[in-house]
């Protein structure tokens, strides 16, 4: 059995991190937008922190729910989420702006939908 209130908090935090990424990414149109000035670098840093938070929460959630909830969403690379979290946290000064751009542009929307669906199924 899992602590429902903690699990709900993890889902809500993850959804908030996704919203922050969406907001910060809204004016980014290419990977070079992250690198052209301090404002872009600040956005890259802020988005990287939210990706770390998402990865940490996904790891914590995965320890508290049945694996089949994640398996219902094979379009999401759940292992990759944890991997990018570890990469960003431990190799912070070598953040790949192109990879962060790709994640934000391609993977955040499906992740948001999957997280909302899993949360709805549990709560």
Q: Per-residue pLDDT tens for 84-106?
A: 888 898 888 889 999 999 999 99
Express each pLDDT in 105-122 by its tens digit. Answer: 999 999 999 999 999 999
Express each pLDDT in 23-50 by its tens digit. Answer: 999 999 999 999 999 999 999 999 999 9
Q: Which residue range(s) make up the domain with 42? A: 4-122
Report percent pLDDT > 90 for the chain. Answer: 83
What stretches of the chain show up as alpha helix (H) in DSSP? 4-25, 31-35, 38-62, 67-71, 78-90, 97-102, 108-122
Tell me the CATH number at 80. Answer: 1.20.120
Neighbours of 92 (CB within 10 A): 12
Structural domains counted in the chain: 1
pTM: 0.94
């Amino acid at each position: 059995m899992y602590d429902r209130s903690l699990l709900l908090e993890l889902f809500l935090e993850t959804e908030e991190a996704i919203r922050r990424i969406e907001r910060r990414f809204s004016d980014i149109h290419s990977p070079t937008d992250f690198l052209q000035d301090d404002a872009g670098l600040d956005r890259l840093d802020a988005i990287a922190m939210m990706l770390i938070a998402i990865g940490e929460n996904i790891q914590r959630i995965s320890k508290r729910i049945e694996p089949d909830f994640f398996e219902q969403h094979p379009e999401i690379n759940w292992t990759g989420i944890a991997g990018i979290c570890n990469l960003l946290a431990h190799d912070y000064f070598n953040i790949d702006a192109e990879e962060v751009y790709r994640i934000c542009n391609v993977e955040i929307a499906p992740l948001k939908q999957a997280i909302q669906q899993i949360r709805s199924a549990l709560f």
